[in-house]
Structure 1
Amino acid sequence: MSRFRSLLQASVNATKKALTWNVEEWVPPAERHIFKFHSKEDLKKWHLYSDSEYGGLSSASLEIPDKGDGSDCTG
C-alpha cells in the first residue's frame, strides 16, 4: 500500500507543478562572463583552443582589442 501511496503522491506533486509552472523556470539564464582578462599578458597562462580542433562545431570566440589602455576584456 505504501508504494501505491508514494506513487499517488508523486503523481499529485507532478500535476501541481505542471499546472503552476513559472515561465522563468523554462528560460535559460542570462549570459555571464566567466573570466576577466585585462590584457593579452593575462592569457599567456591559458591554452586557448577551439573545440573544432577536437571535432566540435562551436563558433565561440575570444576577442581582446589591442588598445593597451588596461580596459577590461571578458571571455
Structure 2
Amino acid sequence: MNEIRNSTTSGQLARAAWRKSTRSQTSNCVEVAPLGTGATTMALRDSKDPGGPVLLFDRAGWLGFLAGTKNGQFDLD
C-alpha cells in the first residue's frame, strides 16, 4: 500500500467520487475512486471505514489488481 505523502494526493482523495459495485452485498464491500491521469490513478478503500486506510494504485498496479481479483488470487476460500 502506498502511503499518502503529499497534499496533492490528500486533496484528490478529499474530492474523489467514491463508488461501490452494484454487485456488493451488505458487508465486505470496497469502494473505488479514479484520481486522474497522474502517477496515482486509482484509490481503493473499505466502505465500512471510509476514513481508514486507502490503497493507491498506478495504472499498471490497478490492472494487475483487477486481473488477480478476476483470477481468484485474493479469494479467502
TM-score, normalization by structure 2: 0.24
Higher helix proportion (structure 1 or 2)? 1
Flag the structure with more relative contact order, 1 or 2, with Cα contacts below 8 A and sequence separation at least 6: 1
Higher strand proportion (structure 1 or 2)? 2
CA radius of gyration, larger in:
1
TM-score, normalization by structure 1: 0.24
